[in-house]
Amino acid sequence: MTGATLVVRGDDIWTPADFRARVAEYGVTVANVPPAYWQQVVQEWPRHGQPAITSLRLVIVGGDVVPPETIRLWQQTPLRSARLLNAYGPTEAVITATTYDVPPTLAEASTLTRLPIGRPLPNRTTYILDRYGNPTPIGVPGELCLGGRLAEGYLNHPELTTQAFVTIHLPGDDATQMSHQPVPGNRIYKTGDLARYLPDGHIDFLGRIDQQVKVRGFRIEPGEIEAVLRRHPGVRDVVVVAHEDDERPGDKTLIAYIVPTDAARPPAVDELRHSLRAFVPDYMVPAAFMIMDAFPLTPGGKVDRRALPLPDGGLARR
């Protein structure tokens, strides 16, 4: 038998300084935090010359996309001595279903756009399926579905249970399933998350399917735009949302919210647009860009998209 004291945060969100103080006070060895909050912690660390936390040996992040800048910041702090895991798993799959052990040299990868969520844990299975329920080829996005240890369903909501928990019948020798070979008749949970298999077998988490938007008749995945913008050296983090005009229902505009690498020298809007147009069609280039010091967070530590400010007349527009 092994165990440890559990330290649970209250209603107030700890500042990065509070986080360090609590870890030191309680001798925390394992921390599980959302990616957006973890980025704030590692971003603030070098600014204040805070010493290393000798007790922290493992940090687990998960629940959202992890931008590469977070990994680079982590490697520049004393916290780099701690092991870092990127974990993925909804409640319906009994929390953690896949993990990715972040290698210390990953920050050196110039082509990194987001952190993979790894491979399934023992007694778990993963499938990436298209809209018709067929396995997607390597590199092609589809809905991430989980098998193995699953919940029985939603209490007192049989219709939701029927929609989310389904039985699949796939060929057992399908080479596109990189992690585990499917067995006909498997019960799976449809996560509603968009993902794809990478050539090395790891899973690339792309965001929520329900975050796909239609702008001027084109179906757009904001995560694709975010991934391209994160390649820009002047961008530390980015969120792209579609704002619907209250006066013109159905008229949506893409807005990119940027946290710059250097707050004193944010990238120019024209420069960001030019870098985007090299990789995406014109209809995927946001109409407005907003520079922010940091993104608002929910009580759970994730980016609060609903709290992002709306653009005003002073913004540069396309």
- pLDDT tens, residue by residue, 297-307: 887 778 898 89
Q: What is the pTM of this model?
A: 0.71
Residue-level pLDDT at 272? 95
Mean pLDDT, the chain, as a whole number?
Answer: 84
**Residue 170 pLDDT greater than 70, yes or no:** no
Task: Say what angle helices 35-44 and 68-75 make with each other, to 10 degrees.
Answer: 40
Residue-level pLDDT at 181? 47
Q: Cα dihedral angle (221, 222, 228, 234), rounded to 10 degrees?
A: 180
Among residues 126, 285, 132, which one has the least CA distance to residue 195?
A: 126
83 in Cβ contact with 101 (< 8 Å): yes
**Residue 14 pLDDT greater than 50, yes or no:** yes
Residues 246 and 15: their CA atoms lie apart, in Å, by: 35
pLDDT-above-90 percentage for the chain: 45
Structural domains for the chain: 16-88 (3.40.50.980), 119-207 (2.30.38.10), 212-307 (3.30.300.30)
The mean-pLDDT minimum among 23-32, 53-62, 166-175 falls in 166-175
Strands 252-260 and 235-244: antiparallel
Which structure tokens are listed for 269? 């809007």
Which structure tokens are listed for 141? 């996005």
Which structure tokens are listed for 36? 């957006």
- The long-range contacts involving 161-168, CB below 8 angstroms and separated by at least 24 positions, are 163/190, 164/92, 164/189, 164/190, 165/92, 165/189, 165/190, 166/190, 168/127, 168/129, 168/133
- pLDDT tens, residue by residue, 48-93: 665 666 789 999 998 877 877 788 888 888 888 899 999 999 999 9
- pLDDT tens, residue by residue, 244-287: 776 665 678 899 999 999 989 999 999 999 999 999 999 999 99
